[in-house]
Structure 1
Amino acid sequence: MAVFKIVHITKYQYTWPIKESINEIRLYPYNFPNQDVLQFQLLITNNPEVAVSTDNFGNRVGNFSTIETHSEMVIESRMVVRVNHSLKIPEIDYDTLEDLEKEKQKSILLLRYSYPEVLTAQNKIDEILNEIGIDNKSIITLAQECSAYIYNRFKYSKGITTINTTLDEILATREGVCQDFAHVLLQFMRTIGIPARYVSGYICPNKAGLRGEGATHAWVEIYSPTQGWLGIDPTNNIWTMDNHVKLSVGLNFSDCTPVKGTFKGVAIQSLSVFVSIGYEDGRHFEEFNDVLLEEIPEEVKKQLEYIEQARQQHIQQQ
């Protein structure tokens, strides 16, 4: 059992004032028996009203809008969470793919979690699975061996990929971070026929030295007919333990994006994320990241250049 104080700050800044910002957030800790939310506070620029609902995956989702013109928006979530996972790996059971087929016929959601993404490089996935060998192995064993393959054969490299990097690109370079490795493991599991879901959260290992500490993290949960959903972290090649704090689950990153939205206006936006993890022994771990966003369309670039030229002319005439 462990208790963590987590502060997560998302800051958007705009080169020109924008308006009518509409946003969707998944920053609420996931509710399940092994995770208790002791405190939670949400602070947003201009203090908009937030409508909270539950999506199809069981995540709490907040929706809000800011109509007023603004050049910056800050979303800050503060939480105290007690995690009570078992510190042991999941019980070794002998559930097989045949056992799973019976379960999937009872649940549409399990079927949805079993469909692999359509890839150009699916042959690479198939080749790796043939190398690993999937015949006559339990679900637990398959998950462990696929996780170990990613951990040993893919390079953990920050700044190589973005939120828009495709699975085909990750398979080509075999480099990335937790989000990328989670997507690869999802494809392995679903190709085999094992229901698997993407998990967004934090990893708080204190002095364990795990990769991804102090930042938003991602891993995978597989479904076992005997034990239910079990978390496995291919970035560190471990089953989830008391240092994994879960925020949301879904088919992929898009279903679990902590913050996403849209706005009216012609401006370049920049995004930075700060995460602070407070441990019971008083230690703190902090990480700050400037997030790479998608490329700005040429049409928008031209509009921004025109606006900037007009602004400079106005300044010179004063």
Structure 2
Amino acid sequence: MIYDVTLNIAYDYPAAVKDARHVLRVRPRELDGQSVRTARVTVAPHPDEAGRELDFFGNALDQLLILPEHEALSVAMRARVEVRRALPDLEATPTIADLAAAAAADRETGPTGPMHFLGDSRIARRIDAVSAYARELIDPAAPAGEAVLAFASRMKADFTFAPGATTVDTPLQEAFAKREGVCQDFAHVMIAALRGVGVPAAYVSGFLRTSPPPGRPRLEGADAMHAWVDVWLGPDMGWQGFDPTNGVTVLDDHVVVAIGRDYSDVAPIDGVVLTAGPQKTSHSVDVVPVGERVRKA
């Protein structure tokens, strides 16, 4: 599947910003099964300095410095991405018990090494109640791939997708206790749960293609940024994506932007601004198969 992807992020500030420094993580990644044909980022006001690099995990960073005073910031990303992922054989994976032992013994220190995704991270910390939830539902003798998919499906059934029920700062334990939240909460709970039983799990941010109702054209702006989980399934299969919000394995509807230990590693925009008062932000996403008709909302 080939997609045209559009992301727009806007900030409005209550007072003029002086000396803004930003790090953007908005460009789709080059990965096995995902190829970026074109990608372009535009920013207003125009940056005084701009540079690009990769972080430790291989995510594309845009480093920006904006010196003139400004009361608004806009970021637009346009990309064409081809996604063709093979259907994984989840049965042909080690048992959960064997996988946990292999992960504990692995000494790969590169960005895909499971050791980086086993312990506590800034947001996804192991919590006794979350680990107990995982142990109750995950059979250590089951093939790891099948067990993780079943766990993602169970999370979809047990948790309610409720925009507005949480914020970006809501602690993981609160979202778990409420059993509601958004994709970010689902991903953090699943990561903490899997790490709690010794399974390496990473946070993935990106885009999800959504489909309009039958017979209706796709609306512009109908998509949003999404989050899911990559799970290490052993040295043979490596990393495989699972989406607990939807209870599915990650195939061609998902476009990867950034991978890290939790949201703090992959936030679309980070940085420092000098201003006063609360800022307002909005974003919209379009993930449109090439050639599909789009109607303005």
TM over 0.5: yes
Deviations along 1:195-236, one digit per CA (max 9) or x if unpaired, are 110000000143589xx9611000000012221110000111
CA distance in 1, matches of 2:40, 2:136: 48
Bigger mean CA deviation after superposition, 13-22 or 243-252: 13-22
* Unaligned residue ranges in structure 2 (runs of 5+): 215-220
What's the secondary structure of 1:179's corresponding residue? Answer: helix
Q: CA RMSD in A?
A: 2.4
Residue 218 of structure 2 aligns with which residue? none
Q: Which runs of no fewer than 5 residues in structure 1 stay unpaired?
A: 288-318
Report what 1:101 is aligned to: 101
Scaled by the length of structure 1, the TM-score of the pair is 0.82
Larger radius of gyration: 1
Which amino acid is 2:276 matched to?
V
After TM superposition, give the deviation of residue 106 of structure 1 in Å.
2.1
Quote the sequence identity (%). 25
Alignment of 1:191 with 2:192, yes or no, is no
Mean CA deviation greater in 242-251 or 265-274: 265-274
Q: Deviations over 1:19-73 (max 9, x none)?
A: 1011011011111121111111111013223211111111111111101001111
Q: Does 1:115 align with 2:119?
A: yes
The 1:22–1:248 alpha-carbon spacing in structure 2 relative to 1, beyond 3 Å, is same
Tell me whether 1:3 sits opposite 2:2 in the alignment.
Answer: yes
Correspondence 1:32-181 to 2 at 5 A: 32-48=31-47, 49-86=49-86, 88-96=87-95, 97-103=97-103, 104-108=105-109, 109-116=113-120, 122-181=127-186
In the other structure, the counterpart of 1:311 is: none
Shift of 1:286: 8.0
Determine if the alignment matches structure 1 residue 15 to structure 2 residue 14.
yes
What are the residue-to-residue correspondences of 1:139-288 with 2, within 5 Å?
139-207=144-212, 214-225=223-234, 226-284=236-294
Q: Distance in 1 between matches of 2:140 and 2:73?
A: 52
**Cα shift readout 1:64-100 (whole Å, capped 9, x = no counterpart):** 11010011111111111111112x3444213133345
Q: Which residue identity lines up with residue 169 of structure 1 in the other structure? A: E
1:274 deviates by: 1.6
When residues 200 and 120 of structure 1 are mapped into structure 2, their CA distance, relative to the original with a 3 A threshold, is closer
- The Cα of 1:189 is off from its aligned counterpart by 1.1
The TM-score with structure 2 as length reference comes to 0.88
For residues 188 and 72 of structure 1, the distance between their equivalents in structure 2, rounded to whole angstroms, comes to 39
3-state SS of the aligned residue for 2:31? Answer: coil
Measure, in 2, the Cα distance between the counterparts of 1:247 and 1:100. Answer: 27
Corresponding pairs, count:
283
Give 1 or 2: higher helix fraction. Answer: 1
The alpha carbon displacement at 1:269 in A equals 1.4
Native 8 Å contact 1:121 1:168 kept in 2: no
Amino acid at match of 2:252: D
Measure, in 1, the Cα distance between the counterparts of 2:11 and 2:39: 22
Question: How far apart, CA to CA, are the structure 1 residues paired with 2:241 and 2:290?
Answer: 24
Give the aligned residue type for 2:20: S
